[in-house]
Amino acid sequence: TYTIAEPCVDVLDKACIEECPVDCIYEGNRMLYIQPDECVDCGACEPVCPVEAIFYEDDVPDEWSEYVTANIDFFNEVGSPGGAAKTGKIDYDHPFIKALPPMNT
């Protein structure tokens, strides 16, 4: 799967959403998260993020490895909704993300 890392926090550009053919990029309060079971690894989202927050999971820089876990764990709460458009913004963040100081501002 692909994953979203620290540069997205408090930025939420959302250019990625428009590119995803399966609509599996979900909006939380402070960042967006990719649903690992719904992502088909097409890679279309990765080049459009203006802050380069999106990585193939094996390519996430080591210092951001917690974001891989956070993206996966987010959906232990949220499940597999089968499409972000109908879900809309989710009033939740992974606890690790929620606890971060203001970022990227």
| Tokens representing residue 82 in the block | 């089968």
**Measured distance CA(84)–CA(74) in Å, rounded:** 14
Q: Does 12 bind ligand F3S (CB under 6 A)?
A: yes
Q: Does 34 bind ligand F3S (CB under 6 A)?
A: yes
Nearest-5° angle of CA 88, CA 89, CA 90? Answer: 115
Q: Does 60 bind ligand F3S (CB under 6 A)?
A: no
Give the interface segment with ligand F3S, choosing from 33-41, 58-66, 69-77, 87-95 (CB under 6 A). 33-41
Give the interface segment with ligand F3S, choosing from 47-55, 68-76, 82-90, 93-101 (CB under 6 A). 47-55
DSSP helix/strand/coil, 56: strand
